[in-house]
Chain A
Amino acid sequence: MTEQEIIDKTNQVFEESFEIERKRLVPDAQIFSDLGLDSLDIVDLIVALQNSFGVKIRNEEKVREIRTLQDIYHFIYAIKNGEGTSDT
């Protein structure tokens, strides 16, 4: 999976699940302060990313380190390219 495909799919999750306009989805956007997500949204973000990318990430320690959209792109890229948790 290419980096651009991961960016597009991740942004699609934010548009569809959290009703955030695409123009706000810039890589350095902070998930909490800039995009307005809260603790419940993070649960839904994990479910949506798992469904979208076919991965299991709920119990990944690195999930807790995510702060920006860029962090998510990198996190998913690492998993999809064999550098992290295996695909389901």
Chain B
Amino acid sequence: MSLKRAVITGLGVVSPFGNGVAALMAGIEQGRSAVRHMAGWEEYIGLQSLVGAPVDMQDEKRIPRQKRRSMGRMSIFAAQAADEALADAGITLADEDLWRVGCVVGSTMGSAKSINDAFEIMLPNKDLSHLNSTMFFQCMSHTAAVNMAQYLGLNGMIVAPAAACASSLHAIGTAYDLIRLGRQDVLLCGGAEELHPTVTGSFDILFATSTKYNDTPWKTPRPFDKDRDGLVCGEGSGILVLEEYERAVARNARIYAEVVGYSSTANGFHVSQSNRESIGVCMRQALGDAGLETQEIDYINAHATATLQGDQEEAEAIRDIFGASVPVSSLKGYIGHTLGASGAIELGATLKMMEQDVIYPTLNLETVSPDCDGVYHVLQQINRPVKAVMKSGFAFGGINAALICKKL
């Protein structure tokens, strides 16, 4: 059986820079930071990191109430990103065989705000009678995928990988396999996540958050920098339209790139720490899947969240495989770590960089940390042909993922 080919024909994003891919790219191009001091977070006893990259939600009431009522913030972001992605792809769902159109959308968990609200309603008096009918649909793990499919009226597969910060790369990798196997013709794929003090808190208690820049939030996170002190949580959604190649060509679709390689590995040794060896194997396997040599990769969009340990392990893995020959940058300095959405949002930005043959630098990377040295860090904008890229993402649980896209 010969495998089909999978191409990306549409992009949609809701990011801390606002709704739309254009808003995201404008923020990155202008070197702005979307990180803010989070008013009110001081109320959480023990929370050291008081910064975040929030989305200013817009136009949510355009989603019909009976579709919106089961959506937490992340599902609204996903629905809005999906609308943009479909429009960008030139796909009108009314014209499609909807049994062949599905979605693969991941997140760390259900809506953090809704989960918190449900507990606050239910637990003080152990009283369930004040819970509304749709709270569960906002809280369940596959909430973003289900709500998107319901909103759009899809009849194809609904898949919802939950792999924390690697969720959306898992989603795109899974969609890539499903398209290649011929199980679906079109898949909306990516991830969604939302910012909440309890989410930042889960990293904070592990000393993984940035805590020194609460009064100067635009200076953090600082991926690969000597003064980095941890990650900053963000929120949003990135959705890609992944489509079978022959079909895309037949309808004269604009094709951003073909997904040519994917891999995911587990480190098998620690639930919260990443390690260079398993990251390296993941990257090598993705290269092998793509049939590409290291010198054929023009840019690596790193996971690099600005944690002390994670950035070092990632930089070492890149150095082991690519040396200092391939430009590397992280987008976390602009929009924080959008967790389960980060892979798709950042891949979307990477595909726009490919389209424009430009590579944007790592914001807040001023002095490369000695433990992250030996790779080609992008400190200023580079204008050069970008034909093939690698996007990586790593997650709690020892999960690694790497995806390779190539222009046709």
Contacts and interface: CB of A to CB of B under 8 A. Distances in A.
Interface of A: 18-19, 36, 38, 40-41, 43-44, 47, 50-51, 56, 58
Contacts, number: 27
A40 B66 CA distance: 9
B202 interface: no
B130 interface: yes
B129 A43 contact: no
**Chain A interface SS verdict (over half):** helix
A58 B134 contact: no
A8 B130 CA distance: 22
Interface in B337-363: none
B65 A19 contact: yes
B69 A40 contact: yes
B130 A43 contact: no
Contact of B129 (A18, A41, A56): A56
B129 A40 contact: no
The 4 closest A-B pairs by CB, nearest first: A43-B133, A40-B133, A44-B132, A19-B65
Contacts of A41: 66, 69, 133
Contact of B132 (A36, A43, A58): A43
A44 B133 contact: yes
Interface residues of B, number: 10
Interface in B79-136: 129-134
A56 B66 CA distance: 25
Interface string B35-67: 000000000000000000000000001000110
A50 to B, nearest CB: 7
A44 B66 contact: no
Given A41-B133, A47-B132, 13 more contacts: A18-B65, A19-B61, A19-B65, A40-B69, A40-B133, A41-B69, A43-B132, A44-B133, A47-B129, A47-B130, A47-B131, A50-B129, A56-B129
A51 B129 CA distance: 10
Nearest to A17: B132
Most buried by A among B61, B66, B130, B131: B66
A45 B226 CA distance: 56
Contact of A38 (B61, B66, B129, B130): B66
Contacts of A43: 132-133
Contact of A51 (B69, B130, B133, B134): B130
Interface in B154-179: none
Interface in B132-160: 132-134
Contacts of A58: 129
B64 to A, nearest CB: 10
Most buried by B among A36, A38, A40: A40
16 contacts: A19-B61, A19-B65, A36-B66, A38-B66, A40-B69, A41-B66, A41-B133, A43-B132, A43-B133, A44-B69, A44-B133, A47-B130, A47-B131, A50-B129, A51-B130, A58-B129
A52 to B, nearest CB: 12
Contacts of B133: 40-41, 43-44, 47
Nearest to A47: B132
Contacts of A51: 130
Interface in B230-258: none
Contacts of B69: 40-41, 44
Contact of B134 (A18, A19, A44, A56): A44
Contacts of B66: 36, 38, 41
Nearest to B121: A47
A40 B134 contact: yes
A58 B127 CA distance: 13
Contacts of B130: 47, 50-51
A88 B269 CA distance: 55
A44 B132 CA distance: 5
Contacts of B129: 47, 50, 56, 58
Contacts of B134: 40, 44
